[in-house]
Structure 1
């Protein structure tokens, strides 16, 4: 009898403890709670409270003084659908910090000091619809960083320091409708970077360092010409394909073509594939490609000069012209190159 009484007492203690943890009339220090919306908002914090209601659906930690997060800071909050961390001092995110948030739909980490994203940090956010990372200091993105976010419709990466994008970084985002890439340091985008974004409606590309003297810009130029209605101004509403301009000029990227800009020519798509990191190119192929990019007249002149110089040198050496004469001739730079260097 005493044993049963002990068990019943323990059960009630556990039950009451669980009820207390779900009590929306009691809120963490520095936080306010809205039981109707199941929302918690905190201000003036340096650490994430560990007594937040476990059934909370919204947690707003914006504009606090959070400089780092515990790897398990949100592991007990499996019901969260919205998490806001904007306006803090975060320089990094623990790789596993979001691992238990499989119901999360909106994540704000804007206006922090993030310099890099750990590999796999978003891998468990399989329900995520909106990811906001603007106003940080991101210089690069890990490959496949967004591959698990197959339900994502909104991605904001503007006002960072991105200098390049990994190949295929957006390929899994087949539901994406809005993409912000403005105000970074991008010089080009990888070939076929946007080809899998079949539902894309809005993309912001302005205020980057688009390098219109490089053949790498041709994909972006063509893509903008083919999708002008998707390219918007910084506000995201007005169509503005001409607002994406080349670095150092006001020329629109969409006006850049192989024919009107690269007089020496650019490699074809096949040749670009041959020079990608996944493949190798022989010296012979490179020589042919370089020769193909030169204007025909220049090639003709070079070949004619080469044949003439060979003939000239043969005459000199077959006639046994004295070394004194050769040295005198060598004072002329051009003859020094074509004869003295060619001397048998």
Structure 2
């Protein structure tokens, strides 16, 4: 419109100049728009553009392990969700990014950083390093970042903030430390005088001190919710300061003690933020006193706030002031940490038998009730040691000597008896060794039978009934020159037990016989001489008849044995008998001989009216 107007007025020259200038400006603007992207030098994995008047490089999830090289005109750098585990010294200045104002390195698995990682970044105003794995931050890590206003470190497991953690940052307004697992905070904020917003939510803080925040004069918001606060005397001062500062935030919640669990700070009175009292009776657990003595029990209590002290005797409160026997002296001292040290001295005048027992010092607060006990007792009387003096010592010595002598005599007698017994045993053994085996066996057999009772003997020979029955009639032995003689029925004696081995017993034992029969009656024959030198030991024995008499006797057992007589040298001859293995034996007439095969057997007894058999008791 303007050129047409000028043309109408005839001012063609001015219209031409304005039109040319307009076209030139359009051409230059188009050239600048075409050339500008080439000058930024932006990597293919990043997006570089102007946002709110600032050149911004967006490199989210680009797979970088280090800070990339970009145009020096870049003012905002976003490296979120990469894999940068370590920030080296001068990490951004060495990449030519000296004009950065904002850096976002969130969620890049960052585990460690150098103290000079942000060196020479003088115009940096915001750093976001949240949601990484930094367990500590080097002291002085942000030194020189004098224009830094926002620092976000949330989501790193820092746990502890040591004293002087942050350097002097005169422009820092916001510090985010949420979910950093913080347990202890020292004087970490002493150089942050301009701090206005401090976020400490969702950590592990149980207690805090107001001195930590003493230099934060410009603080406007302090977030403390989400921490497991222990609401006791150590938190009391900080709680009172926090509630009186009117900082806009939600009221924290108590987790301990159990009585205050899930209660807001604002709902608990200041005096109820108390610590467990420490109570002790300094006299000890047991105090020994005699009747009539004076006594003082001292109870020491350290608590915050000051507790109420009570004394109990055997479970009953002591009415101090009412009972004149008891008096109390109390002293109180305030300690540096605000706790109270209290002494309660209970005095008892002239103890009697009713004042001995259990005393209890009881410290009571709004929350806790703690006690200490002490027992007052009479002294234990111990028996004095026994001291032997004078004549008593000699009596004791004499008694011990006599006892020792008696023991010596008894021991000597026992040894002597043992020696005598041993000597006698050896003597008997020697005599037994001199005695022949055949004779010994003969004596053993006879003695074993002689020791049995008549009934036992009868039972022992009951097995020989058949032999007795065969010889139950009078036997007539015919020998030349002697005629007939009558002999008693005989049966073989079983061998001794030591000569029997579960085999059938022999009917004879050599030529030794024992005479005996069952209980039977024998009538004397008028033509036979039945006289005999019989010694009867049976239960029924009425006598032995002589020739022509009628005598009845009952023989159960006759404990006799016959021994071979001397060899007969008359006209009687018989076949030579074999050796009967009995060895040497002694006859009733005192002779001794051996039974060999060349010696003839003994002749039969002569025929006379009197029997030649001799019976010898063993």
How far does residue 80 in structure 1 lie from its aligned partner after superposition?
Answer: 1.3
- Native 8 Å contact 1:118 1:142 kept in 2: no
Is residue 246 from structure 1 mapped to residue 254 from structure 2 by the alignment? yes
Unaligned 5+ segments in structure 2 are: 1-34, 279-298, 313-327, 329-342, 357-373, 386-618
Is residue 296 from structure 1 mapped to residue 313 from structure 2 by the alignment? no
Gap change, CA 1:257 and 1:75, over 3 Å in 2: farther
How far does residue 85 in structure 1 lie from its aligned partner after superposition?
Answer: 0.5
Gap change, CA 1:26 and 1:137, over 3 Å in 2: same
- Native 8 Å contact 1:258 1:265 kept in 2: no
Q: After the TM superposition, which residues 192-231 of structure 1 pair with which residues of structure 2 at under 5 Å, given as runs? A: 192-213=211-232, 215-228=233-246, 230-231=247-248
Match of 1:261 in 2: 273
Gap change, CA 1:305 and 1:120, over 3 Å in 2: same
- Native 8 Å contact 2:173 2:194 kept in 1: yes
For residues 274 and 345 of structure 2, the distance between their equivalents in structure 1, rounded to whole angstroms, comes to: 23
How far does residue 247 in structure 1 lie from its aligned partner after superposition?
Answer: 1.6
Is residue 73 from structure 1 mapped to residue 124 from structure 2 by the alignment? no
For residues 152 and 135 of structure 2, the distance between their equivalents in structure 1, rounded to whole angstroms, comes to: 15
How far does residue 253 in structure 1 lie from its aligned partner after superposition?
Answer: 2.5
How far does residue 288 in structure 1 lie from its aligned partner after superposition?
Answer: 7.4
How far does residue 187 in structure 1 lie from its aligned partner after superposition?
Answer: 1.0
Match of 1:124 in 2: 144
How far does residue 138 in structure 1 lie from its aligned partner after superposition?
Answer: 1.5
Q: After the TM superposition, which residues 64-213 of structure 1 pair with which residues of structure 2 at under 5 Å, given as runs? A: 64-76=82-94, 77-166=97-186, 168-213=187-232
For residues 74 and 184 of structure 1, the distance between their equivalents in structure 2, rounded to whole angstroms, comes to: 31
Match of 1:55 in 2: 73
- Native 8 Å contact 1:75 1:100 kept in 2: yes
- Native 8 Å contact 1:102 1:126 kept in 2: yes
Is residue 37 from structure 1 mapped to residue 49 from structure 2 by the alignment? no
* Cα distance per residue 1:156-186 (max 9 Å; x no partner): 10011100101x2223322222111000001
For residues 298 and 119 of structure 1, the distance between their equivalents in structure 2, rounded to whole angstroms, comes to: 55
Q: TM-score, normalised by structure 1?
A: 0.68
Q: TM-score, normalised by structure 2?
A: 0.39
Q: Which has the higher contact order (CA 8 A, sep 6+)?
A: 1
Q: CA RMSD in A?
A: 3.4
Gap change, CA 1:124 and 1:138, over 3 Å in 2: same
Is residue 316 from structure 1 mapped to residue 371 from structure 2 by the alignment? no
How far does residue 46 in structure 1 lie from its aligned partner after superposition?
Answer: 2.8
Q: After the TM superposition, which residues 16-27 of structure 1 pair with which residues of structure 2 at under 5 Å, given as runs? A: 24-27=39-42
For residues 215 and 90 of structure 2, the distance between their equivalents in structure 1, rounded to whole angstroms, comes to: 34
- Native 8 Å contact 1:58 1:82 kept in 2: yes
- Native 8 Å contact 2:67 2:92 kept in 1: no
* Cα distance per residue 1:187-239 (max 9 Å; x no partner): 122332223222222221100011113x22123211222123x242xxxxxxx
Gap change, CA 1:114 and 1:51, over 3 Å in 2: same
How far does residue 303 in structure 1 lie from its aligned partner after superposition?
Answer: 4.2
How far does residue 305 in structure 1 lie from its aligned partner after superposition?
Answer: 8.4
Q: How many residues align?
A: 269
2:235 aligns to what SS in structure 1?
helix
Q: Which range moves more in the overlay, 73-82 or 203-212?
A: 73-82
For residues 321 and 265 of structure 1, the distance between their equivalents in structure 2, rounded to whole angstroms, comes to: 39
Structure holding more helix per residue: 1
How far does residue 290 in structure 1 lie from its aligned partner after superposition?
Answer: 2.8
- Native 8 Å contact 2:235 2:273 kept in 1: no
For residues 207 and 103 of structure 1, the distance between their equivalents in structure 2, rounded to whole angstroms, comes to: 35
Q: Which has the larger radius of gyration?
A: 2
How far does residue 49 in structure 1 lie from its aligned partner after superposition?
Answer: 4.2
How far does residue 297 in structure 1 lie from its aligned partner after superposition?
Answer: 2.3
Unaligned 5+ segments in structure 1 are: 1-19, 233-239, 267-286, 325-344
How far does residue 291 in structure 1 lie from its aligned partner after superposition?
Answer: 8.0
Gap change, CA 1:202 and 1:25, over 3 Å in 2: same
1:144 aligns to what SS in structure 2?
coil
* Cα distance per residue 1:283-336 (max 9 Å; x no partner): xxxx977389553325969744899779966x637xx55379xxxxxxxxxxxx
Structure holding more strand per residue: 2
